[in-house]
Amino acid sequence: MKKNIGIFNLLLIFITFIALDYITKLWAIKNLFIEAQSIQLTPFLSMTPVWNSGISFGFFQDSGEIGRYGFTAFAFLVSFWLIFSSFKLPKYSSLGFVLIASGAIGNAIDRILYGKVVDFIDFYVDDLHWPAFNLADTIIFIGACVFLFSQFFTSESSYYEK
């Protein structure tokens, strides 16, 4: 039997990343959004306030209240499924699922509180900007990478063949 992380540890990871996301967004609202300012960190990175009423990369920006509540409900449903599924999976697969769920819930909390998502990390080269994002988006990406890595490059890939 493959070793898993354990329910307590998975829930601790889940709550920790939701809290970290929330704290970074509170910082952004206080320091970027209220003053409507951008903070230049490097020649290719700034902290710039962006309200995102859509989903990843700003898709579906004009979805209105249906999008707000629909995206929120979808995020909660998928996240609960990922969390409960993670309890039965090997460690890297379960870690990937929990990271994805925590990022999704972090953005869903924004939709509940503000009606849109707080994005503020802005990578760019000259005038070419990657869509602004936040810690929750980063956590989702890392979780997907961890899960895919576990499927292709670890012994966990044989777990699903049973």
Instruction: Please say if 137 is a catalytic residue.
Output: yes
Catalytic residue among 21, 110, 119, 122: 119
Helix 7-28 / helix 91-114 crossing angle, nearest 10 deg: 40
Instruction: Please say if 122 is a catalytic residue.
Output: no
| C-alpha pair distances (Å), 158 with each of 14, 148, 162 | 26, 13, 7
Catalytic residue among 21, 110, 122, 137: 137
Closest C-alpha among 96, 108, 110, 109 to residue 140: 96
Known catalytic residues?
A: 119, 137
